[in-house]
Copies of this chain bind each other. A is one copy, B any other.
Amino acid sequence: MREPMQPFVAALSVRDDLSAEEVRALHDLPIHLRSFQRGEEIVGDHTRPGRSSLVIDGTCGRVVQAREGRQITAVHVPGDFVDLHSLLLKVMDHSVVALSDCVVGSVPHGHVAGLCERHPHLGRLLWLSTVIDGAIQRSTIANIGRRSALQRLAHLVCELHTRLAVIGLASPNGFTCSFTQTDLGDILGLSAVHVNRTIRDLRHRKLLSWSGNQVLFSRFESLAAFADFDPTYLNLQKEPR
């Protein structure tokens, strides 16, 4: 079987060099795998998790439940920790749900803390990954707060494509998107109906094609220019951290 930590190692390796020993330490973490069906709750709101969870396969989302409806505040792909912050926050301020059938691994908090102690550089990289989550959230705030539905959706497509490419899950001109239009609405702060019309509009403008769960574009650059997409916030540069 493939190493479950592989996508996480891949994601870190894009941002900094890992020593062989560090890679080994990550693979040696006692990880408990579990499958979830689309729609299932992975971590509950207001709970106190004793473990941190990592997406191995599929996608999941962080859900803040407001009185007027749910908002998906972040989308996670393989290699992303979905609640690493619970190591410090203790009490969840949101829930995590499966947005597709997915496989999630979890590691007891004690082992994560131990890893940080024994490998301070890995500790910094775990900190880094929570801080990149924050950068993505800032971009999401700007996206929802300032851009039109058309640009919002285009921006999300650019981001997803870029993030999936990092872990080898995107082709040069597209990717597989398993979200329903209702999910997309909850991610973008739009109604499901309007998401549908917005996809149609993007298609009419020949910026992309979207049939079933296949998203394809002829030129990523056109889409990125239209969406005002600047990938700086994804921190894809290798730097000593």
Any B CB within 8 A of the CB of A23: no
Any B CB within 8 A of the CB of A6: no
CB 8 Å contact bits of A199-241 with B (1 = contact, 0 = none): 0000000000000000000000000000010001101010101
Task: Give the distance in Å from the alpha carbon of A120 to the alpha carbon of B116 in the complex.
Answer: 10
- Shortest A234–chain B CB gap in Å is 9
Any B CB within 8 A of the CB of A181: no
Task: Give the distance in Å from the alpha carbon of A89 to the alpha carbon of B129 in the complex.
Answer: 10
Give how many copies assemble into the complex.
Answer: 2
With CB as the reference atom, state the residue of chain B lying closest to A230: B93
Chain B residues closer than 8 Å to A134, beta-carbon distance: 85, 130-131, 133-134, 137
The residues of A with any CB-CB pair to B shorter than 8 Å are 46, 62, 64, 66-71, 73-74, 85, 88-91, 93-94, 117, 120, 123-124, 127-128, 130-135, 137-148, 151, 188-189, 228, 232-233, 235, 237, 239, 241
